[in-house]
Amino acid sequence: MVDLHWADAIAEEVCELRGGDSHVVASGITPSGEIHIGNMREVVTADAVYRALDERGVDVRLIYVADNFDPLRTVYPFLPETYEKEVGKPLFRIPCPCGGHENYAEHFLEPFLESLELLEIDAEVLRADDLYNSGRYRGAIKVALEKRDSIARILEEISHRSLPNGWSPFNPLCPLCERIVGTEVVGFNAREESVEIRCRCGFQGIASIVGGGKLTWRVDWPARWKILGVTVEPFGKDHATRGGSYDTGKRIAEEVYQYEAPYPIVYEWIMLKGKGAMHSSKGVAISINEMLEVVPPEVLRYLIIRSKPEKHIEFDPGVPLLNLIDEYDRRVNPRAHQLSQTRRGEETSIPFRHLVTAVQVARDADALLGILKRSGYEISDLRSVLARAENARRWVERYAPPTLRFRVHERLPQATKSFDSKDRAMFDVLAEKISEWKTPQEIHDGIYSIAKEANVEPKEFFQKIYITLLSTKSGPRLGYFLSSLDNDFLVTRFKEAARE
């Protein structure tokens, strides 16, 4: 029996536990810094389950909440010191770092939302400030303030931490200093739907519960579940720890808001090879947009969808990324491949490794297409071929190890002077035979045969071929490499190497 893909297994269990008529899959983030591929795991996991539910004929929505009402916690290393005065303010009230966006949150959200389009994640994007300012939280805030003692008891019982005197589930927005950190609720008027607040900046007065603040995170989350009708939500393992925000949220949802907590999908982190979990504030991250310049969207989706959420992913943008692309193209995991596909998918039969070689040989697009045609590849879909080639070129520039970067020498390297008579005889045969071989495999096998007939280890002859072209003993896979080069050039170069 073939195991279900994890997304299908979750979809099946969700329908069994919660019914199969309609569902809402939710995801979200606080846009306080660059949104990187580590953050992407949540939204791609949500999308995979959304697609699995949709395929079952379920009426399903996918929503993404940008928590732009959260405060700026500190001056991150990527911010100027002038942002010290913005600490404690909601992200949507803080100026854009580049001056080109409506506010701080939009500065980081805009490129992320563009990447969602490329990844073909058709989520309904909601912003927390809109939800609060429109009054959608009105009822949830009133309930939270009225049942403040019950919520406090749940938080203390589950988290095993004591709340400070005067704790409130509502964080008011000070109209004077514009902060939601350092403000406190000292009174609540349910009829007027307002709170009496005091701020450490000295302000004392009244604030509306509609747009005049937000619920603290551990209350905001379960309130949001009911407001948006969320039935499924992935979240990081930090929220799933014993006594963590999911445990408290579940109790608050069921006991305070009379709502069944969503089906939880706990995911592990994406680790950057050699550096640990990604954090944009620590500079340990690769942005989604940057990675989409190197790999097609469907491959980036596959990075996440091929692994169960509870397994951590170690991401290495070097050679292992080539292996990932190769795995995707070979459809090693058919269901993960299917869930990763995009409508604009730029799939091609040309191995990415060969493109890595070809783009370093070709000087322009015409030369590149000529190389690929000589190698026997189908190039009729020019858009897909050139898009993949551009991915390969950027990968070489940014992530390729020295062993996969090369430059073909215009002249015969000086190192060939050390060749002996047996070497030169093999190059003489190679110059004669190279035109007869049409495919990378034929080239590889032909060179192997020449070496064996001369009673020379093939590895040694391979090294000397690299020397004649690159002045080093190693390089890209030889069959593909030679098939990428102009045949007349190779004949001339090998004849030169055969001379005394």
When comparing pLDDT for 363 and 130, which is higher? 130
H-only helix segments in 417-472: 421-433, 440-453, 458-470
Distances (CA, A) of 200 to 197, 205, 278, 338: 10, 12, 35, 55
The answer to which of 10-19, 414-423, 475-484 has the lowest mean pLDDT is 475-484
Q: Looking at residue 239, what DSSP letter applies?
A: T
Percent of the chain with pLDDT over 70: 99
CATH hierarchy code of domain 414-498: 1.10.10.350
Pairing, β 194-199 against β 183-189? antiparallel
Per residue in 223-270, pLDDT (tens digit) is 999 999 999 999 999 999 999 999 999 999 999 999 999 999 999 999
| Distance between CA atoms of residues 350 and 282, nearest Å | 38
Q: pTM score, two decimals? A: 0.90
Which class for 378: exposed (0-12), middle (13-18), buried (19 or more C-beta within 10 A)? exposed
Phi, psi of 313 (to 5 degrees): -110, 125
Domain boundaries, the chain: 6-160+218-267, 271-340, 352-404, 414-498
What is the predicted pLDDT for the residue at 492? Answer: 96
What CATH homologous superfamily does 6-160+218-267 map to? HUPs (3.40.50.620)
Per-residue b or e along 325-346, where b marks 16 or more CB atoms closer than 10 Å to that residue's CB? bebbbeeebebbbebbbbeeeb
The distance in angstroms from the start CA to the end CA of the chain is: 66
pLDDT, residue 1, reads 42
Distance between CA atoms of residues 422 and 455, nearest Å? 10
Task: Write down the pLDDT at residue 378.
Answer: 87
